[in-house]
Amino acid sequence: MRKVVVTGMGVISPIGNSLEEFTRAIKAGKSGVSRISVFDTTDFDVKIAGEVKDFDPSQWIDKKERRKMARFTQFAVAAADQALRQAGLIEKDPQGPKRIKSDPDKTGLVLGNGIGGFEIVSESFGKLLGQGPRRMLPLTIPMMINNEAAGNISMIYGTAGPAFTQVTACASGTDALGQALDLIRSGRCDVVVSGGSESCITPFGFGGFQMLKTLSLIHNDEPEKASRPFDKDRDGFVLGEAAGILVLESEDHARGRGAAILAEFAGYGASADAYHITSPDPTGIGGGKAIAGAIRDAGLRPEDIQYYNAHGTSTEINDPTETRMIKRAFGDHAYKLKISSLKSMTGHCVAGSGGMEAITCVLAIQQGFFPPTINLDNPDPECDLDYVPRKVQYGTVDAAASGSHGFGGHNGVVVFKKYQEEGRNG
């Protein structure tokens, strides 16, 4: 079976719009949650979100093209550009040629997106109701649909291999990575650009989530304290937006072109709870199966994993359920694991979370640190594992896993490990 490696990463997030800024923010335990600035929240109970700040799409996309893209697509293109430049697959000069330096027919795209262009839906539907169908945005359909991030990246960089979009709610970004892994292992692709992107901080998106009673309400005046996974005082998740994109390659392809290899993408596991449309199975059996499956697929044992990036949404039901998932999969080793939730800093970025959290695992392996779970001041007794409270910790990370769990009962888990060439010890 072909070994798959990571050669590039890019991120647009509430805590940074470059890999360097993102990494510094994680180590500093920086919150990206703030008062909403993109729409008037007067009529909303929830007034906070993990917004992407200071995003200038002109750094990556020309004016004519970005006018045809929803915000989630712009995020994905920007993060993909960063990742491809780090991988050395396009020119480092931002103004240089965009065409990819690999066989286009063997270069694929698998992106995760849960919701699509919500701001486009909202604007066009408003025009439809207020002014009639002839006033709707001409590109309403191609801008709003989930697959357009993958489509735009393919057109910009000239990739001609498979181009898919995975839609499994909050597990979309992680499941996209799993599908990309299979494309390379099977030989269909040598290179796959993969991850997730999401942007739904709109009145329509917030209204919908607010009606589900899932969002944090009690920290509108202290936004940075609102997302508090595994803390007994949590009261719901904070909606965020982001893109996290990785360049994946077969080991032979990466070594053949002299690429710097960041980590091995070793395993993927997936399952369905078959339980409830929004709530996870409280026993944790479904998620536990996905974790165990990913570890087996990586050819590892539970005790080989040092760090687990939890879904960690900061909701009443999810956090103790995920604790049970981890215990099911890891057994006694669960109490020796370092576990944390990036969402404590970014909020829940839906499909964007899976890509960002996979990148976090690779960074932990590369740089030897355990990201913190900020705001974990009063641990929930039902969440009795080591969630790296409040501050970053340092130590060797040979292997790390990341789990995502979406509405509908979707469970996806990926495993990364330190890259070692065959016949060498590291």
Q: Cα–Cα distance between 169 and 149 in angstroms, integer?
A: 16
Q: Cα–Cα distance between 115 and 170 in angstroms, integer?
A: 10
Q: CB-based contacts of 376: which residues, under 8 Å, 6+ apart?
A: 228, 229, 230, 231, 344, 387, 389, 390
Please calculate the CA angle 306-308-311 and round it to the nearest 5 degrees.
175
Q: Among all chains, which residue has been given the structure tokens 């299979």?
A: 182
Q: Which of 170, 189, 200, 349 is catalytic?
A: 170
> In the annotation, is 276 catalytic?
no
**CA-based nearest residue to 188, from 117, 138, 100, 248:** 248
End-to-end C-alpha distance for the chain, whole angstroms = 20
The greatest distance separating any two alpha carbons of the chain, rounded to the nearest whole angstrom, comes to 68
> In the annotation, is 189 catalytic?
no
Q: Cα–Cα distance between 82 and 341 in angstroms, integer?
A: 24
> In the annotation, is 348 catalytic?
yes
Q: Which of 348, 349, 383, 410 is catalytic?
A: 348
Q: What are phi and psi of 314, to 5 degrees?
A: 80, 30
H helix runs in 132-264, sequence order = 140-144, 148-157, 172-185, 203-211, 251-256
Q: What are phi and psi of 266, to 5 degrees?
A: -100, -25
Helix-then-strand count for the chain, H and E: 13, 14
Q: Which of 189, 200, 253, 311 is catalytic?
A: 311
Structure tokens at 275: 């339980």
Strand 338-340 with 307-309, pairing: parallel
Q: What are phi and psi of 236, to 5 degrees?
A: 140, 170
Cα 96 off chain centre by: 28
Residues labelled as active-site residues: 170, 311, 348
